[in-house]
Amino acid sequence: MIISVCNGKGGSGKTTVAMLIALAWQGSSKRRVGLLDLDPQQTATQWVGVTGAPVAIAKSGESFDVLLIDTPPRLESRELIDAVKRADRVVLVTSPSPTDLFTSRTTAEAIKREGAAEKARILFNKVKPRTRLSRDLDDLAERIGLPSLKSYLHDRQAYQHAALDGWSALTPEMEREVFAVAMELNG
Ligand SMILES: Nc1ncnc2c1ncn2[C@@H]1O[C@H](COP(=O)(O)OP(=O)(O)O)[C@@H](O)[C@H]1O
Ligand SMILES: [Mg+2]
């Protein structure tokens, strides 16, 4: 299964989410999980290199049971378009902030242009505790123009640490949150 994680702009949490989901699956199944880093900034690759985060960085052409693709934050990028086309699932990572709405909508349009709308889902990331009702998220998803996953990720400093160092930074509650996203993507 190939899952491409995308947003036309940087900072929405693509790399963090790709690392967290890779860690979740790697820890919970015997499947081989890889993360293909197509962002020219090579953030995921550097994180793994520097921190030793327990995630397998995939080389192009290498095969895995589950492959997460971290994509460049540029909609015109060939790598991003190819990653959207070859994926079984496309995850549009966005914060629920109105400032992210416009780029996320443009990203959704690009996904639709590639004929990938059916396999695409919005993942809300950096959701502030208690400030958002799920109704608001549904409304935002509608404005962006793609269905959203029911699960989402809160804004938590521990996720920054976990993406760098591994799973031990997470409390059981956070683990459940990340697993819920991983399971929903798998379904
Ligand atoms: N759920 C989250 N809670 C807290 N901080 C987050 C979360 N997701 C991402 N971040 C932080 O936001 C910043 C951008 O995330 P990153 O994954 O690098 O985005 P992208 O790959 O889309 O550019 C980083 O500092 C990261 O640690
Ligand atoms: Mg990144």
Q: Which of 160, 178, 181 to mutate to test the pocket of ligand 1 (most atoms within 8 A of CB)?
A: 160
pLDDT higher for 34 or 131?
Answer: 34
Kindly list the domain boundaries of the chain, sorted by start residue. 2-186
Ligand 1 contacts CB of residue 125 (under 6 A): yes
4 lines ligand 1 (CB under 6 A): no
Instruction: Please tell me if the CB atom of residue 178 comes closer than 6 angstroms to any atom of ligand 1.
Output: no
Q: Which CATH superfamily is domain 2-186 in?
A: P-loop containing nucleotide triphosphate hydrolases (3.40.50.300)
Q: What is the mean pLDDT of residues 128-148?
A: 86
10 lines ligand 1 (CB under 6 A): yes
CB 16 near ligand 1, within 6 Å = yes
Least confident range of 34-48, 124-138, 142-156, 169-183: 124-138
Q: Which amino acid is at 128?
A: K
Q: How far is the CA of 187 from the centre of ligand 2 (A)?
A: 25
Beta strands in the chain (DSSP E): 2-6, 33-37, 56-57, 66-70, 89-94, 120-124
Task: From 41, 86, 51, select the one nearest 68 (Cα to Cα).
Answer: 86
Q: Averaged over 57-67, what is the pLDDT?
A: 92
Can you tell me the distance from the alpha carbon of 141 to that of 94, in angstroms, rounded to the nearest whole number? 10
Instruction: Grade residue 61 by pLDDT with cuts at 50, 70 and 90.
Output: confident
pLDDT digit string, tens, across residues 85-114: 999 999 999 999 888 999 999 999 999 999
Beta bridge partners of 56: 34
Q: CB burial class (10 A; 0-12, 13-18, 19+) of residue 39?
A: buried
Residue 137 is classified by DSSP as: H
Cα 43 to ligand 2 centroid, rounded to whole Å: 6
Burial class (CB within 10 angstroms; exposed 0-12, middle 13-18, buried 19+) of 155 = middle
Residues 89 and 117 sit within 8 Å (Cβ to Cβ): no
- pTM attached to this predicted model: 0.96
Residue 132 has pLDDT above 80, yes or no: no
pLDDT for residue 187: 66
pLDDT in tens, 11-44: 999 999 999 999 999 888 888 999 999 999 999 9
Instruction: Return the percentage of the chain with pLDDT > 70, whole number.
Output: 98
Say what the pLDDT of residue 12 is.
96
Query: pLDDT at position 135, please?
Result: 76
pLDDT of residue 27: 84
